[in-house]
Structure 1
């Protein structure tokens, strides 16, 4: 199963050449991750209170295939490729009318929030939701 969302490319995303300024794609990647966690029932603004946790990005690689312009509708597909003890590897593929735009590989790490930032084991209730996006049997990875 993949998490899918759409993003309309707006004037604010574009540079004077009329194409998306590449750092805006990184914001779109982060928005996709944040919306995914919301969909699973773990909004970022509640993570600290519920789990004492945040999920910062610790590694990010992105490959750009083609430009995007204002009014393009991006289709973003997120898959969870690996679930570790405290981190997850995800990929996000973006396309416009079937044309690849970019692919991002992201590693997120569950950590404490506050002055001391330390790794946390992924809470079981979050792990169960993540497993839905890997295609793996819940019992096989427990």
Structure 2
């Protein structure tokens, strides 16, 4: 089951030509990820970051069509793989029936001293309904 966020393209996302400046998509993906942790997993970043961190270790994106000021993107986030201390996320952003971008990222759960650590036992089950396919390394 994918988690979906709707994002209106704002002036701040756009370049002088009125289309999204591509680095802003990475901010939009991070906003989607933060909403996913808060709304779907019920583990908001502000709680998780009190004892750990979840930096992005890898990210890639493919841009299929431009987005313009005022467009509404539906961004679907799914889990491609759940590991012991990492999670691979997929993003699929559409405006109506048109794909605007797809992306993949890997987050790593790390301790305050910067070493990878297992996802908390209370959090791991919350990931499971969002796994797409059967790519679970738990």
Secondary structure, counterpart of 2:114 in structure 1: coil
Find the counterpart in structure 1 of residue 75 from structure 2. 76
* Kept after mapping to 1: 8 A contact 2:84/2:137: no
Find the counterpart in structure 2 of residue 46 from structure 1. 47
**Structure 1 residues 61-86: Cα deviation after superposition (integer angstroms, max 9, x where no partner):** 00000000000000000010101110
Find the counterpart in structure 2 of residue 120 from structure 1. 117
Point out the structure with the larger helix share: 1
Following TM superposition, the consecutive aligned residue runs of length 4 or more in structure 1 with deviations greater than 2 angstroms are: none
Alpha-carbon distance in 2 for matches of 1:65, 1:93 = 11
Alpha-carbon distance in 2 for matches of 1:135, 1:19 = 31
With normalisation by structure 1, the TM-score equals 0.90
Alpha-carbon distance in 2 for matches of 1:57, 1:76 = 18
Secondary structure, counterpart of 1:24 in structure 2: helix
Pairs within 5 Å for 1:5-16: 5-16=5-16
Pairs within 5 Å for 1:18-37: 18-37=18-37
Alpha-carbon distance in 1 for matches of 2:130, 2:98 = 23
How many aligned positions are there?
136
Root mean square deviation, CA, Å = 1.6
For structure 1, list consecutive stretches of 5 or more residues without a partner in the other structure. Answer: none
Quote the offset at 1:98 in angstroms: 1.2
**Structure 1 residues 77-132: Cα deviation after superposition (integer angstroms, max 9, x where no partner):** 0010101110010100001111000001000000113xx31101111221100011
For structure 2, list consecutive stretches of 5 or more residues without a partner in the other structure. Answer: none
**Structure 1 residues 6-36: Cα deviation after superposition (integer angstroms, max 9, x where no partner):** 0000111100011000010000000000000
With normalisation by structure 2, the TM-score equals 0.93
Find the counterpart in structure 2 of residue 62 from structure 1. 61
